[in-house]
A and B are shown apart, each in its own frame.
Chain A
């Protein structure tokens, strides 16, 4: 608090004296105005999850995400579930800030309960959940306080498959196979090659092996990834999220590379 009455209700410019209250007393010299920086909002994600992959196949959609939440480059939490069932026909996969993701989970759980208690024989499908999330994320970015996530929403309702993306800006798009984060660079070419044109013939087993292969490639190339991941499936039977799957990897080739691991010379 500035206790000098001549400082009250004035511009913060020391040199300007609009009220001509000359002679001025010595005004306290604030080196920094505490309000000058304004309110601080999320500037960067802190604890993060890496890529989420998803594809459509014959009976529905499938999604995969590993179990890691990183703190910067530190592999901080190694058994985090990044796939979340919303209602009976939708699954949500999140990359980006994990605390924002947990907040989104509580938002959605409240939404689903609200719809459930209405008891009107209607429930939210993947399209509605995706639309809701896109409105939430866009409104938050417009408040300059984004929820720092890239989300995939997938599901199947009334025989219709749905798969779409929404990110921290509220940007949305839909495709037969989508990936977030590093996966958008590394896995998308693999997934598109395997899926496009075959959405209606691909079996569950094939879809699963395609996703596993893409997750393996990502584990080799993405330094923020983990070899433990889960697969979520949505088909006519509803949502099921698998137990943690551990990737089998071979690092024998590394032995011959100089500057990689323990070298004797």
Chain B
């Protein structure tokens, strides 16, 4: 499978792009919620082997104290993007002596991503990125796509279950939710879009930025995560 992909990556641009987007479309869902006082990121991390250590290979990463990102697609590419975003955030800090606004980081990051669509010698990034932050101007949430396009969103979904996740996100009154409530909703949506019959095991990975974390991007605390997972499972039973 891997070698087949590696082989076909050498083919012409259009089919190459097609394959990369296929990789993203088949990756576990990642969602982001921009709510009243913060951001919640949640990822359905598919576990392809029982031998993996729990909580290893995180798909949610921190870019700066107040910026977090979740990726869908090639994990290795996601890490490259996170490193780049960190460098950009740091460069903004050293020139301005202030925490970078998300829009500036996203603009620089999308420019970087776009540059990888321009040359035959490199392939575009095989991952879609949800990136969120909370600062003095409030919460912000963007998706950066492999094409280099970046849009701001109230609710964002990428990966396999994104269509269903988007439908669910549209039902929420995002601008009225608190981050704590949004954690519960995010967990519910991830459990909902996960297809038990077809897919392997998965691990719910969640992080948040809000008043409760003092505007710092942190993993959702264990007790809240467990509560959210329990409520998600209950909701799923009622749903079916």
Q: Report whether A116 and B62 are in contact in the complex, using a CB–CB cutoff of 8 Å.
A: yes
**Assembled-state Cα–Cα distance A110/B86 (Å):** 11
For B83, give the chain A residue with the smallest CB separation.
A117
B90, CB-defined interface residue at 8 Å? yes
Range of interface residues on chain A?
A: under 10
Chain B 10-34 interface residues, beta-carbon cutoff 8 Å to A: none
Q: Report whether B94 and A117 are in contact in the complex, using a CB–CB cutoff of 8 Å.
A: no
Q: Report whether B93 and A110 are in contact in the complex, using a CB–CB cutoff of 8 Å.
A: yes
Q: Report whether B61 and A117 are in contact in the complex, using a CB–CB cutoff of 8 Å.
A: yes
Q: Report whether A117 and B62 are in contact in the complex, using a CB–CB cutoff of 8 Å.
A: yes
Closest Cβ of chain B to A179, distance in Å, is: 30
Chain B 55-76 interface residues, beta-carbon cutoff 8 Å to A: 58, 61-65
- Give every chain B residue within 8 A of A116 (Cβ-Cβ): 62, 65
Q: How many B residues touch A, CB cutoff 8 Å?
A: 13
- Give every chain A residue within 8 A of B222 (Cβ-Cβ): none
Per DSSP, are chain A's interface residues mostly helix, strand or loop, or mixed?
helix
B97, CB-defined interface residue at 8 Å? yes
- Give every chain A residue within 8 A of B89 (Cβ-Cβ): 113
A106, CB-defined interface residue at 8 Å? yes
**Assembled-state Cα–Cα distance A236/B86 (Å):** 31
Chain A 110-124 interface residues, beta-carbon cutoff 8 Å to B: 110, 113-114, 116-117, 119
Instruction: Give residues in B with beta carbon < 8 Å to A.
Output: 58, 61-65, 82, 86, 89-90, 93-94, 97
- Between-chain CB contacts (< 8 Å), 20 pairs: A106-B93, A106-B94, A109-B93, A110-B90, A110-B94, A113-B64, A113-B65, A113-B89, A113-B90, A113-B93, A114-B90, A116-B62, A116-B65, A117-B61, A117-B62, A117-B63, A117-B86, A119-B58, A119-B61, A119-B62
